């Protein structure tokens, strides 16, 4: 019984770390895009919130060009 609890706790910890990493990567993408928008506007201050919201929207709706995955031992490109 003790081993099952340890395995379950380890699995939960691993999942939590993966989610945090994913959230961190997403925030980095949004931050980078918001900064690009700021620069495109001539680096004028005063639109930080609108830049951030636009960046969030763009990143949320962005589709990856292609995603690699493994299916049954075969490598495939998914578009």
Using DSSP's 3-state secondary structure scheme, residue 10 falls into: helix
pLDDT of residue 54: 96
Using DSSP's 3-state secondary structure scheme, residue 46 falls into: coil
The whole-angstrom distance between residue 68's C-alpha and the CA centroid of its chain comes to 16
At 64, phi and psi to the nearest 5? -65, 145
| Residue 53 lies in domain | 2-78
pLDDT of residue 6: 65
pLDDT of residue 62: 83
Q: In the chain, how many domains are there?
A: 1
pLDDT of the chain along its 79 residues, tens only? 555 666 666 667 777 777 777 889 999 999 999 999 999 999 999 999 999 999 999 999 986 554 444 444 444 444 4
Q: Among residues 18, 26, 20, which one has the least CA distance to residue 56?
A: 26
Whole-model pTM above 0.85?
no
């Amino acid at each position: 019984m003790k081993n099952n609890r340890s395995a379950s706790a380890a699995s939960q910890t691993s999942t939590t770390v993966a989610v945090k990493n994913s959230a961190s990567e997403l925030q980095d993408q949004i931050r980078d895009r918001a900064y690009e928008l700021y620069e495109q506007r001539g680096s004028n201050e005063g639109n930080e919130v609108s830049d951030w919201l636009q960046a969030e929207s763009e990143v949320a709706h962005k589709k990856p060009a292609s995603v690699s995955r493994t299916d049954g031992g075969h490598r495939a490109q998914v578009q």
